[in-house]
Structure 1
Amino acid sequence: MRLFQLLCFSLLLSVSAQAQDIHFSQFYMSPLNLNPAMTGVMNCNSRIAVNYRSQWASILGSSAFQTYSVSYDQRVAVGRNDYFGIGGTFWGDRAGQADFATTTGKLSLSYSKKVGGSRKYGNYLVAGVEGGAAQRSLNFLALRWGTQHDGAGGFDPTAGSGEDGFDRDQFLFADLAAGLLWFMVFDENNSLYAGGSFHHLNRADQSFDSNSEEDLLYSRFTVHAGGEFMLGQRIGLVPGFILMNQGPSFQVNAGTNVKFLLDGGRAGSSQSFQLGLWTRVSNRLDDSVLTDALILSSRFDYENFALGFSYDINTSDLSQATDGNGGFELSLQYKICGAQRRGVYCPTF
């Protein structure tokens, strides 16, 4: 079992070393990580979002993948109907026994232009950009190499390793992104949106050997869509879809939450509860496609607070080692509205 864990770790590290981006199962509660055009897109003046994800703890224990994100954004009115969005995001990710880590800080700007409708309903087109800096690091002393194993079950940590070609265990790089978003709001409880983003426009060098050929970070293309559709006075559907493609890898998340309005219902509810089922589909290194996980999600909204929890049930071949355990996520949002809130402006994320 220990050997299998090391093999799984090596596989997961190799995927991480190709610099694939972080992902959240509750992508709809991490809007600035999804698309810079979602900066400032809210029904209030400002928003704070916190996300945390832990994955593969059943295999890696204390070395499980840990991902966290904190963001803040606000909108600024321009004329009667348009808005600027200003925001900032800080996130970190740490994976495996060698502490392969990424830490990122970014600023984002957006502009929302109303292209039709009235005060209570309408549709908008939003453009956004993002820029910042990131750091990658790796603890080479914690790695194990094939030359350190004698083939008979023995291990000699002083034997030759494969790190001789690396001359830096951390480095900084700039990172740029851009995105577009379109949304239509029918009333306070019914909306539709679709967007796309292009991350890592500048394709920074990711090599831990400064003297080698460049190992460029793959650009990531994202397409996403969703909405909110009430089926009655107290129940509705909140479907969503996201497709991410980065180099040789792609991932699709799709599903829906069922939303239950509490207290006043559609007449003026300030509380709601959601339960949902989602699926994640991705590709293997051999180009085959698999259903990686089923995702159980929940969300509770109380006035300006939103709390989300999700759990991934692993359905890939790795489930034999994980017993189906994947990862859990916690998400928290708090919106500050104030006096500038004017009618229905955007979908609820």
Structure 2
Amino acid sequence: MLLWQSAQSQEAHFSYYQFTPVDVNPANAGAFHGSYRVSGIYSDNYGAITSRPYRNLDFNVDAPIIRGFRKQDWVGVGIGMLVLPILNGSGLHVNDDGTPAIGTTQVLTGFKGGLAYHLSLDKKQTRILTLGAQFASGKRSYQQLSYLDARVVPEKLSSKDGDIDQYNQQIQAQSQSKYPISKAYSDINIGVLFNSRQKKSDLKLGFVVKNVNKSSNSLFANNSKTGYKRELGLQAHGAYDMTINNKVNVIPGFFYYSYGNAWAFNVNTHAMYTLRPQDGLRVGAGLGLRNFRSIMTFFGAEYKSFKMGFNFDIDITSLAQETNGVGGFELCLGYIGTIYKKPKTKQVILCPRL
């Protein structure tokens, strides 16, 4: 599910990250067989212990658009949208007496758009090296903010949260009136992807550097020393799709990401079983582990051009006693469309005299 390592790490990551290709790596844009790809995830986290769980929505669209400088190369484009409620209607109750924390509004919304150049290392397109670049813009907004809404106890907040302190002081000076404050930001992400396609295997390895420009996300113009700057992010991912026989595929994979002091390592394996080859009907299941904190279970199905997925996380941390092990769930949907070119028929004039 969505990982939240600290109040500084305002990034969304999902257990079933295969349904967010543009977010995982900008080089994934156009890296598939088809004309266009649409995918999305809805996640709900910690709903078992609070009436204000994390609820997030992520949406991706990508497509190969034009041929590259050589006939075996191509260019892909990808866009993504994210709505991430951080501290408002989403969040854990942290009051000692169990009462709800005061209502606030902090929402991170984002848009990503990028291009990827797929360079084939051979004429048969069995080995492909891709470079992708992505521009991301978003908005971080508050109305009223309190430590009670921060999902962490005050003594765990570092001095880098200066914008939170200053905002609280400003609210007090303004007699607790609610004045919305927002801050736009823009990031640059760079990614590379290597893909080796063989007859019975498909290997993918990728690496990403996010927030290269380390843009400011502070809500105050005069707090350059203590203001929030988006951390430099690093991501690495890989998958190895193995054909065991004409019915079964096994796909081990991993996804590592870090932002400042926050990091996570997702290791998973999926197995797919073909029921009806003529319809492309496959069903599958998988298991994964993240940071020895969550056991991830996966269930999926494919039918023709559609892909569906469901993820359920089992919490194995100290919170397990409160959550009964329920970490959250994800609902995933994907579609790969194909646009066929209308064939051009050569007109032939028939002469009845012949």
TM-score by length of 2: 0.79
2:281 corresponds, among 271, 286, 291, to 271
CA distance in 1, matches of 2:75, 2:145: 47
- Is 2:205 aligned against 1:194? yes
CA distance in 2, matches of 1:310, 1:263: 24
Q: Which amino acid aligns with 1:280?
A: R
- Contact 2:193–2:205 (Cα < 8 Å) also in 1: yes
- Root-mean-square deviation (Å): 2.3
% identical equivalent positions: 22
- Contact 1:100–1:137 (Cα < 8 Å) also in 2: yes
- Is 2:342 aligned against 1:330? no
2:76 corresponds, among 85, 91, 102, to 85
Q: Which amino acid aligns with 2:116?
A: S
- Is 2:51 aligned against 1:58? no
CA distance in 1, matches of 2:39, 2:304: 15
Residue 255 of structure 1 and its aligned partner are, at CA, apart by: 1.3
1:117–1:278 CA distance, 2 compared to 1 (3 A): farther
- Contact 2:9–2:259 (Cα < 8 Å) also in 1: no
Residue 338 of structure 1 and its aligned partner are, at CA, apart by: 2.4
| Structure 2, unpaired ranges of 5+ | 89-103, 150-164, 172-178, 342-354
CA distance in 2, matches of 1:51, 1:67: 8
CA distance in 1, matches of 2:258, 2:46: 22
CA distance in 1, matches of 2:123, 2:271: 28
1:206 corresponds, among 217, 231, 243, to 217
- Is 2:110 aligned against 1:111? no
The equivalent of 2:131 in structure 1 is 127
Q: Secondary structure at the match of 2:168?
A: coil
CA distance in 2, matches of 1:314, 1:229: 30
Give runs of aligned pairs for residues 25-40 of structure 1, distance below 5 A: 25-40=15-30
Give runs of aligned pairs for residues 276-315 of structure 1, distance below 5 A: 276-281=286-291, 291-315=292-316
Q: Deviations over 1:53-82 (max 9, x none)?
A: 111112221x21111111211102414311
Residue 131 of structure 1 and its aligned partner are, at CA, apart by: 0.4
CA distance in 2, matches of 1:323, 1:112: 46
Query: Which segments of structure 1 move beyond 4 Å, counting only runs of 4 or more?
Result: 141-145, 165-168
The equivalent of 2:61 in structure 1 is 72
CA distance in 1, matches of 2:221, 2:9: 16
Q: Deviations over 1:91-146 (max 9, x none)?
A: 1111344343210012110000100262xx6110000000031101233166649x
Q: Secondary structure at the match of 2:313?
A: strand
- Is 2:264 aligned against 1:251? yes
- Is 2:1 aligned against 1:43? no
- Is 2:74 aligned against 1:100? no
Residue 337 of structure 1 and its aligned partner are, at CA, apart by: 1.4
Residue 218 of structure 1 and its aligned partner are, at CA, apart by: 0.6
Residue 86 of structure 1 and its aligned partner are, at CA, apart by: 1.0
Q: Deviations over 1:161-214 (max 9, x none)?
A: 970157863210111101000001113x62011000111111121223332123
- Contact 2:184–2:217 (Cα < 8 Å) also in 1: no
Comparing 172-181 and 95-104, the one that deviates more: 95-104
CA distance in 2, matches of 1:30, 1:217: 21
CA distance in 2, matches of 1:144, 1:255: 35
Q: Secondary structure at the match of 2:27?
A: helix
Q: Which amino acid aligns with 1:68?
A: L
- Contact 1:225–1:242 (Cα < 8 Å) also in 2: yes
The equivalent of 2:155 in structure 1 is none
- Is 2:32 aligned against 1:22? no
- Contact 1:60–1:96 (Cα < 8 Å) also in 2: no
CA distance in 2, matches of 1:163, 1:43: 52
The equivalent of 2:96 in structure 1 is none
TM-score by length of 1: 0.80
